[in-house]
A = this chain, B = another copy of it.
Amino acid sequence: MDKILKVKNLTKNYKDGADSVNILENLNIDMPENQFLCVLGPSGCGKTTLIRCIAGFEDYDGVVEVSGKETKGPGIDRIMVFQNFDQLFPWKTVEDNIKYPLKINGTKDKEELSKLAKEYLELVGLAGSEKKYPHQLSGGMKQRVSIARGLAVKPKIILMDEPFASLDAITRRNLQRELLKIKEKENVTVVFITHNIQEAMTLGDRLIVLSKSGEIKLDIHNTLQAPINPATEGYGELWKKLSDNLEGNSDLY
């Protein structure tokens, strides 16, 4: 199977002063279609930077290819769910935030749009908040609408930056499950940043750990058998491996 996403020799420097350093240096990642890649790494190591480069929001050295073609800037084939709470358009209702990208990408039928908005809002547990404006939502609600907006356009690749960080355990688990379902059904390729090792193990079929200085410290396939939970065979070892590779030592959590 061909690679849908190729990151070749990616080097990123924000060039924001004389002493600015390379955040990422010569990074290489290949992803086949329908892979679910989880990226772990200490705070400030460059995870967000990496997917911003993939999404096309940053200048960088190196090449990012989608389906064999070099990308130039952002595109609807790689949808980003930002780490930022305030990524929804504040001038649009929750519903319209979801409908709008669909509309500009070809779904003109009003009923179809309403149906889709409803469907994805239900998916993230927000049926009933259609008419609210983003400033009327809680942090976690904003995050969920953003996820719904991103999923609704059915991108080839979805780039998610700690999308579940502000969600309670139950909502998070439900969304994890839904995300996996969608991934299979729609054949999406996912790059997913998380700080939660367990989440990474549950979701990813490939796991990357970045070091403090932005290098790939670990890049492995998740061979655990679904459904993955602490009782799954090999869970403990994998957990330990990831945890050990995360900078520093862990004796708790």
Chain A residues within CB distance 8 Å of chain B: 14, 16, 40-44, 47-49, 83-86, 125, 136-141, 144, 161-162, 165-174, 195-198, 202, 229, 243, 246-250, 252-253
Contact = CB atoms under 8 A, between A and B. Distances in A.
B43 A171 contact: yes
Given A42-B171, A43-B166, A172-B253, 7 more contacts: A43-B138, A43-B139, A43-B140, A83-B166, A168-B195, A169-B250, A173-B252
A196 B169 CA distance: 7
Given A85-B83, A144-B43, A198-B253, A170 B138 contact: no
A246 B170 CA distance: 8
A162 B170 contact: no
Contacts of A171: 42-43, 248
Query: Looking at A144, A250, A253, which has the most chain B CB atoms within 10 Å of its CB?
Result: A253
A168 B161 CA distance: 13
Given A171-B42, A171-B43, A139 B162 contact: yes
Nearest to A47: B138
With a 10 A CB-CB cut-off, give which of A167, A169, A197 has the most chain B CB atoms.
A169
Contacts of A168: 40-43, 195, 246
Given A85-B83, A229-B252, A42 B170 contact: yes
Contacts of A165: 165-166
